[in-house]
Structure 1
Amino acid sequence: MILAFLAETAGHGAEAAFPPFETWHMPSQLFWLAVLFTALYLALSRFILPKMSDTIEKRANRVASDLDEAARLNNQAVEAQKSLELRLAQARGKARDTAEKAREKTEAELATETARVDADLAKKLEAADARISKLRADAMANVEQIAVDTADAMIARFGVKASPADLKKAVSAALEQA
């Protein structure tokens, strides 16, 4: 039964061709194709394309104005950077001058203080040398007396007695040789 139905359906399909490919439909199809494309062309050219061209033109104008604004802002930024660099250079120069003046002032103060300290040290050194010379002279005088006393004690142990003048003369001769 199913096969019979399929055979019957196949027979009906063989009688006629596919309608769009039948030649007697061609003139009406070409007519409606021309009408449809004409209507589409008119709709596009009258309504859609003008709106699109306006939008494209507005966008191009907006891009151009934005580029002009960007160029203007870039020029301002370049000028600001040049101004900033100039001010930085001036500030560096001023700082360098201030540092140089401070260094010179400090060096002058240091030289003055060094000279004063050197003078004080020279005075103290002279006073110390004078004291040392005096102490040395006093010590030498005491050394001579101590040497005389020591020589007298040593000779006395040997049982010999010498006069203080002879002892002083012998110690002086020994100190001169040393």
Structure 2
Amino acid sequence: MSQSTLVVAQATTTEAPATGEAPAEGVAKATTEGTEAEGGHGGFPPMDAHSFPSQIFWLVIFFGLLYLLMSKVALPRMEQVLGNRRKAIEADLSRASALKNETEAAVQSYEKALADARANAQAIAAETKARMGAEMDAERGSLEKSLGAKLAEAESRIAASKAQSMKDVHEVAADSAAEIVSALTGTQVSKADAVKAITGLKA
């Protein structure tokens, strides 16, 4: 690069510009000569074989720096984020499992309470039925006793009324018999004799 610059400088100092196109031709010629003096290996620098060692050197340097950056900064942060995510998922799973266990325990407790309530209701119903049956039996026995007493009293009253009626019938019959005998025979018959006569006939 320095040789081409020197050639360009010499060409500009030695040759006087006669016309407007002379300097441009001199510069182009000097540049061409400079490139030929450098060895003719110009072109795209990454494809130049002479620059491969420096490229490989800087590639190793940048790759090492990238590796250090990834291993010391990026990967630990990613691992931390993934670890926090994993811990959060495990905590959510454990919480869901605990809630599931609590729900199952609540359901079992509810079912047990419902079964106990049903058993208590059945026991109360049976007890109430038995108590009502006993009360009904007691009331029925008391009613039967009361009805028996009333029936006996009524029967005694009927018997007394019947006896009184029969007594009255005997007296009426005795009076009627005495009157009939008096009417037929013309003799007076006492009531006592008529009663005796009727009693003897009945016997």
TM-score, length of structure 2 as denominator length: 0.43
Q: Hey, which of these two has a bigger chunk of helix by percent? A: 1
**CA radius of gyration, larger in:** 2
